[in-house]
Amino acid sequence: MLPLRYLKTFVVILLLLAVAATVPTSSAEAQTKKDVENAENAQERAYLQLLEANQAVGSAISELEGIDGELAELNYTIGRLDRKITEFDEQVADLKASARELVVEAYTNSGTGLVTAAFTAGSIQDLLTSRALIGTAADRDLASLDLLTAVNRENDRLKTDIAEKQAEIETLQEQQRILVERLANEQAKADHIYAEAKDKYKDAVTRYEAELKRQAEAEARRRREEAARQKAANNTSAAASSSAAAGLPASNTPGLVCPVAGNTWFVDTWGAARSGGRTHKGVDMIAARGTPLVAMNAGKIRMNWNSLGGRQVYVYAVDGNFYYYAHLSGYAAGLTNGQTVAKGQLLGYVGATGNATTNVLHLGMGPSSGVYVNPYPTVRRVC
């Protein structure tokens, strides 16, 4: 088993490495967020297993330190008692010399009774404390003999206790050795799990970084394509807007008549701002209320009404264009939806129905495709 100081260093190093390993090396996440979460959770679980194993080893080390402390204390006690025993052994030697003197003196003074006592005594101490010597040794210090007996008995007891304690400590040390070995195995397993989880996390990050790069490239390509399409659309729109502002070609509108059969006043307001973010898609021809409105060319009509244009008439003319009249105060008598009208035929009268603030004809026109173009160049020629 490794010394405690090496085990402590081993645990500290593992803890530092584990903490350092939890700092992500990249801010990217895995190919899907769920993949990254799973990888991070697996790494966290493995890290917690590693911490648990390290804590268990630390606890075992603390127990071993406690046992080592107890053993050191017992060894110190044994040494102290051994020194006392040595001291008492010296006193025993002195007492034995005193006993010989007592025997000689007692024999000289008391005769054969002391010899009989000496032969029947079980030990020198029994002889020294026998009745045969009590009188003779009355003047001597026999208290040391009692102390010797007590000390010998105490030493014997302590030596027995120490032997038992040493056996118990050896058993505990063996148990701790097995425990630390098992925990080291668990720790190695946790290290393996953590390293594997960390590798999986790195793999997930690598995959996701590649996916992010692919997506970024795809997004950049999409934006370039969208910008190109938008540019083309803007160019087309600009061209269409320019074409719309130019109005219908004179070659496509031969023989038209002015839609207002009376005095009128108008300017070019094509594209001007209108409510709701709209732009003006016609020309406003100011005239007195009730001024007659006539078909600019022959064609079929469609009558309509809404909150913006009020009372309306569409003329789908034989020249392939449509002509739109709005804000009428009323229709011509007998006019019916779907009716075919002649060029110059009465359609209705100037008014202010719908979203109008004055009596006006809002005139719109365009090719049969339904795209509005600027009417001003046309009415400028014919009105």
Q: Are residues 285 and 188 in the same domain?
A: no
Asked if 314 and 337 touch (Cβ cutoff 8 Å), the reply is no
Domain that holds residue 142: 4-214
Of 214, 231, 264, the last residue of a domain is 214
CATH of residue 271: 2.70.70.10
Say which residue the tokens 């244009």 belong to.
309
Residue 267 DSSP SS3: coil
Q: Are residues 293 and 378 in the same domain?
A: yes
Query: What's the CA gap between 347 and 297, in Å, rounded?
Result: 12
- Within-domain flag for 259: yes
Of 187, 214, 241, the last residue of a domain is 214
- Please, how many CA atoms are within 13 Å of residue 353, restricted to the half-sphere of its CB? 21
The pairing of strands 299-306 and 310-317 is antiparallel
Query: What's the CA gap between 34 and 42, in Å, rounded?
Result: 12
Tokens of 295: 């078909």
Q: Are residues 187 and 282 in the same domain?
A: no
Quick count: other Cβ atoms within 10 Å of Cβ 307?
A: 8
Q: Are residues 314 and 193 in the same domain?
A: no
Q: Are residues 26 and 109 in the same domain?
A: yes
What's the total number of domains in the chain?
2
Q: Are residues 12 and 112 in the same domain?
A: yes
Query: What's the CA gap between 380 and 283, in Å, rounded?
Result: 11
- The model's pTM is 0.41
Q: Are residues 183 and 55 in the same domain?
A: yes
Q: What is the pLDDT along the chain (383 residues), one digit of tens a residue?
A: 444 433 443 444 344 344 334 434 444 444 466 766 776 777 677 777 777 777 777 777 777 677 777 767 777 777 776 777 677 667 666 666 666 666 566 556 554 455 555 555 555 555 555 544 444 444 444 555 565 566 667 767 777 877 777 787 788 778 778 877 877 777 777 777 777 777 777 777 777 778 778 888 888 888 888 888 877 766 555 555 666 777 788 888 889 999 999 999 999 989 888 777 788 899 999 999 999 999 999 999 999 999 999 999 999 999 999 999 999 999 999 999 999 999 999 999 999 999 999 999 999 999 988 889 999 999 999 99
Helix (H) or strand (E) holding 184, with range, is helix 143-246
Q: Are residues 177 and 302 in the same domain?
A: no
Q: Are residues 257 and 207 in the same domain?
A: no
Q: Are residues 60 and 183 in the same domain?
A: yes
The pairing of strands 360-367 and 299-306 is unpaired
